[in-house]
């Protein structure tokens, strides 16, 4: 199955600085290209090439090995809805802050809806625009998104994202890239 994504340096190197508190929730987000904040979600715009995204950090993260909780070092853990210039449909992606296990997938659960994201390096995304549409619709109607994955070192992770404010943030990101 062909992957329909490209992640250039624009998104990966965006100036997202997340200051994480002990509870795992984002306390502050700073960037020179942040244009809006909608509760748990922020909107960023990059001009060249034009990309707009709604993004959030998890409100809870659990890491386990052998069924036991462990402390591990992870980079930024973020869930995105990305739009490109001209009013493109949103693409849903996730970065877990570590390299995913080879040939693995990332589970995404929203309410009773379950999806699989394909992993490559530290990124995961849906296999097709149709899958993106189904995930996007579930996110707009859901309360939480739970992503489960396995690192290349065998650590199981479970990241829970609040979807409070997702609809407003994704609408704003879409508006920003429509022109």
> What is the domain range of residue 35?
9-178
d(CA 57, CA 51): 19
Q: How do residues 27-54 score in pLDDT, each as one tens digit?
A: 333 344 545 555 789 999 988 888 999 9
pTM for this entry: 0.82
Q: Could you tell me if residue 71 is inside a domain? A: yes
d(CA 142, CA 155): 27
Q: Could you tell me if residue 101 is inside a domain? A: yes
Residue 76 is part of a domain; what is its CATH number?
2.60.40.1880
Q: Could you tell me if residue 3 is inside a domain? A: no
**pLDDT number for residue 47:** 87
Q: How do residues 126-173 score in pLDDT, each as one tens digit?
A: 999 999 999 999 999 999 999 999 999 999 999 999 999 999 999 999
Task: Spell out a b/e string for 64-99, using b for 16 or more CB atoms within 10 Å of the CB, else e.
Answer: eeeeeeeeeebebbbbbbbbeeeeeebbbbbbbbbe
d(CA 175, CA 157): 33
49 cis-preceded (ω within 30 degrees of 0): yes
**pLDDT number for residue 24:** 35
Question: Across the strands, what pairs with 117?
Answer: 106
Q: Could you tell me if residue 4 is inside a domain? A: no
Q: How do residues 70-118 score in pLDDT, each as one tens digit?
A: 999 999 999 999 999 887 799 999 999 999 999 999 999 999 999 999 9
How many domains would you assign to the chain? 1
Q: Could you tell me if residue 1 is inside a domain? A: no
Q: How do residues 91-104 score in pLDDT, each as one tens digit?
A: 999 999 999 999 99
Q: Could you tell me if residue 117 is inside a domain? A: yes
């Amino acid at each position: 199955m062909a992957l329909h994504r490209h992640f250039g340096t624009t998104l990966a190197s965006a100036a997202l600085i997340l200051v994480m508190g002990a509870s795992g929730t984002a306390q502050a987000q700073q960037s020179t290209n942040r244009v809006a904040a909608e509760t748990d979600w922020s909107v960023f715009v990059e001009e060249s090439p034009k990309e707009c995204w709604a993004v959030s950090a998890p409100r809870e993260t659990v890491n386990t090995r052998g069924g036991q909780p462990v402390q591990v070092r992870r980079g930024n853990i973020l869930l995105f809805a990305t739009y490109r210039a001209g009013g493109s449909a949103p693409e849903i992606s996730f970065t877990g802050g570590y390299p995913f296990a080879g040939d693995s997938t990332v589970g995404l659960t929203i309410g009773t809806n379950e999806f699989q994201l394909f992993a490559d390096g530290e990124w995961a995304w849906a296999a097709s625009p149709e899958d993106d549409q189904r995930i996007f619709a579930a996110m707009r109607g859901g309360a939480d998104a739970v992503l489960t994955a396995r690192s290349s070192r065998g650590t199981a992770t479970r990241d829970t994202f609040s979807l409070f404010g997702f609809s407003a943030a994704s609408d704003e990101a879409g508006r920003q890239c429509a022109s």
